[in-house]
Amino acid sequence: MRYYPGKTGLPSPHEVNRAVEAAFREYGEGLVQMPPKVYVTFPKGDFRTMPAYLPSMEIAGVKIVNVHPENPRSGLPTVMALTIILDIDTGIPRAVLNATELTDLRTGAAGAVAAQYLSRKKRIALGVVGSGRQAIAQVNAIADVLEIEEILVWSRTAENAVEFCGQFGEIGCVAGSVESACNADVIVTTTPSRTPLIRSEWVQKGTHINAIGADAPGKEELDPALLARGRVFVDDPEQALHSGEINVPFSQGLFRADRIAGTLGDVVCGRKKRESQDEITIFDSTGLAIQDLAIASLVMGQGAYIDLPFP
């Protein structure tokens, strides 16, 4: 068995985007096994287990990942993760990966794939709501598939917004209000909010939105009226209804399951697409285990590792 400690040998955004795109295509074609993630809830956060089998890459395994929004106050990442890869023929553990940074990358890649297929423009102003690790990952991933002319960012603290803008010296970056960040062609939301931050009237026709932050029951970042205006695509319907951006409006009777326009897999496979220049498209991302397997396959092919005898 091999242990991949992380930080060395990380694949590029382009490599991750293409691997995650391929995984969504396999999902769209019904060729993967992937039960919905299971949550265990703590007073200040939760952890999830995420198993899957991706036949096209001949890889299977499970990720264990926590989300603790208060961790940065103690100098810890909000999200930390471990992925275990199993041999398909024998079940013997093949590898253990430090998946903390990999989780950032693969989530960013899902947003990039959604923006690539659903943005009405290839040259965009990008609005970013939130300024943490995932916000940075989204910008880096989207920059591989679209030309970002300007970034408009909102953060709860001015210092964090300035630090965020400093990550992208080659792209103009302006910090301002949430409303100003919505004056964009593509909007990315990456906060742990349990109260909607984005009001419907702030979003112009033709905008594409990556709703990333709502990944557990009770979380929501978008005004339910905005969901009613737009066409909502999800990564997985069951997960989205349980813990995605649509989970709260769905539980309150403000959003029906039959209003889901399709999955990102449907979009990648060509069965669904943006239907007009004026429509608002929304990608509700909860995070899929097949994304973790796709990036694990990349890392195992090129990363540094330590041998750990097993059994």
Whether the Cβ atoms of residue 204 and residue 85 lie closer than 8 Å to each other: no
CA 169 to chain centre: 24
The crossing angle, in degrees rounded to 10, of helices 289-302 and 13-28 is 140
Selected catalytic residue, list 7, 37, 44, 63: 63
CA distance 221 to 78: 17
State how beta strands 281-284 and 231-234 pair.
parallel
Angstrom distance (rounded) from CA 11 to CA 238: 30
How far apart CA 236 and CA 233 sit, in angstroms, is 9
Residues 6+ apart with CB under 8 A from 266: 28, 233, 272
Does the annotation mark 63 as catalytic? yes
Angle at 195 between CA 160 and CA 162, to 5 degrees: 10
Q: What is the DSSP letter of 145?
A: T
Query: 3-state class of 18 per DSSP?
Result: helix
DSSP-derived secondary structure letter, 259: G
Sheet (strand 231-234) strand order:
172-175, 147-154, 123-129, 186-189, 208-211, 281-284, 231-234, 260-263
Distance CA 83, CA 99 (A): 6
Residue 75, amino acid: G
Question: Three-class SS of residue 247?
Answer: helix
Residues paired with residue 60 on neighbouring β-strands, in sequence order: 53, 86
Residues with active-site annotation: 63
